[in-house]
Amino acid sequence: MSRSGWALSDAPPQTGRVVVVTGANSGIGRATAFGLATLGARVILACRNEKTAAEAADEIAVAVPGADLDVVQLDLSDLSSVRRAAAEICAQYPSLDLLVNNAGVMSGRRELTADGFEVDFGTNFLGHFVWTHDLLQRISVGGRVITVGSHAHRTGVIDFDDLTMGQRFTSPAAYARSKLAQMLFAFELDRRLSAASVPVVSLAAHPGGTRTGVMREQNRFLQWAYFAPSLRWLTDRFIMDPPEGMLSILRAATDPKAAGGQYYGPTGRLGLAGPPVLVTPSARALDRDVAARLWTVAEELTGVHYGLAGGH
């Protein structure tokens, strides 16, 4: 379903820019990689599954003749993989212009990562926390870090006394908490970069209601609601396909008017569909005290220290 408003054609050329997109083998990440390649950027697809990442790169190359693409294996649920992949990129690329932290999981049951973290929190938040730290040294003047959030962050709660969710776990709560953590990180990172006069900005964006792999992992009702062809006449009013859903991320990444600390998402009813605009995050995502505490906890859990003073 076509929707008027900001589109790929409105984005400025990205020729000569080097960008990294996590989870670029499918869904929003793949669509974002395609969009950036179309605009002329060199795109590094950082993905857990090298086979599907290579297939995605091949398909983008066919659709975008002359596309400059690279694939790096990255498992955000394993910090040793995160550090290895970041080191590989730093060794090969002296400068990066854009980091799109898109990859994410929504586990249907309580699991722990290789490092002992609850899997949604450990993958979506802590994995990207370390990943961003290790690549920050390569991000050029005027570069951007884009965190792909979700409407789900609005219901998230950070229980610092039960970060492994050993006392109480539900799949929606774990996912919402991880997305809230990502949002808190995105805005706290921007405050700290600004306070330290680092010429890089951090923004967030969300794809609204989009048909992605995360939704395919949900209960049968949600799978049916999102993907049933017989319901497209209805669901297209508030659910988008990845090429439309990625536009919020692309606008945050490329719009010359976008600024640090901003949040982009679809306009339209409930913010689920429509062209990307500047939107307002929840009060929870803007809680500076929680963000500062979460930052400290993340450094303690991962052993990674940014060296950036608090952004209060």
| 308 in any annotated domain | no
Predicted local distance difference test score (pLDDT) of residue 156: 95
| 290 in any annotated domain | yes
Token pair belonging to 280: 């307002």
CA angle 88, 83, 163 (to 5 degrees): 155
Instruction: State pLDDT tens for residues 234-285.
Output: 444 446 565 688 999 999 999 999 999 999 999 866 656 678 999 999 999 9
The answer, yes or no, to whether residue 311 has pLDDT greater than 80, is no
Predicted local distance difference test score (pLDDT) of residue 270: 62
| 185 in any annotated domain | yes
Predicted local distance difference test score (pLDDT) of residue 34: 97
Predicted local distance difference test score (pLDDT) of residue 211: 44
Predicted local distance difference test score (pLDDT) of residue 240: 53
| 76 in any annotated domain | yes
Active site members: 175
Q: What is the amino acid identity at position 250?
A: L
Task: Find where tokens 């429509």 sit.
Answer: 274
Predicted local distance difference test score (pLDDT) of residue 241: 65
- Which residues, at least 6 apart from 40, have a Cβ–Cβ distance to it below 8 Å? 13, 14, 15, 16, 17
| Diameter of the chain measured on Cα atoms | 53
Sign of CA dihedral 129, 198, 23, 11: positive
Average pLDDT, the chain: 89
β-strand 96-101 against 18-22: which pairing, if any?
A: parallel
Please compute the mean of the pLDDT values over residues 78-104 and round it to a whole number: 98
| 4 in any annotated domain | no
* Distances from the Cα of 260 to the Cα of 25, 75, 198, angstroms: 27, 27, 12
Count: domains in the chain: 1
Predicted local distance difference test score (pLDDT) of residue 133: 98
* Long-range contacts (CB closer than 8 Å, 24 or more residues apart) made by 15-18: 15/39, 15/40, 15/41, 16/40, 16/41, 17/41, 17/42, 17/97, 17/98, 18/42, 18/44, 18/93, 18/95, 18/96, 18/97, 18/98
| 139 in any annotated domain | yes
Beta strands in 151-247 (DSSP E): 200-205
Instruction: State pLDDT tens for residues 123-164.
Output: 999 999 999 999 999 999 999 999 999 888 999 999 999 999
First to last CA, the chain: 43
The answer, yes or no, to whether residue 209 has pLDDT greater than 90, is no
- How would you classify residue 142: left for phi > 0, otherwise alpha for psi between -120 and 50, otherwise beta? left
| 312 in any annotated domain | no
Residue 40 belongs to domain with CATH number: 3.40.50.720
0.85 exceeded by pTM: yes
The answer, yes or no, to whether residue 210 has pLDDT greater than 80, is no
pLDDT band at 171 (very low <50, low <70, confident <90, very high): very high
Predicted local distance difference test score (pLDDT) of residue 111: 96
The answer, yes or no, to whether residue 218 has pLDDT greater than 80, is no
Question: What CA–CA distance (Å, rounded) separates 192 from 190?
Answer: 5
Proportion of the chain above pLDDT 90, given as a percent: 79
Identify whether the C-beta of residue 258 lies closer than 8 Å to the C-beta of residue 250.
no
Predicted local distance difference test score (pLDDT) of residue 151: 82
Token pair belonging to 153: 């962050």
The domain of 247 spans: 11-302
| 263 in any annotated domain | yes
Instruction: State pLDDT tens for residues 2-33.
Output: 456 899 999 999 999 999 999 999 999 999 99
What are residue 69's DSSP bridge partners? 43
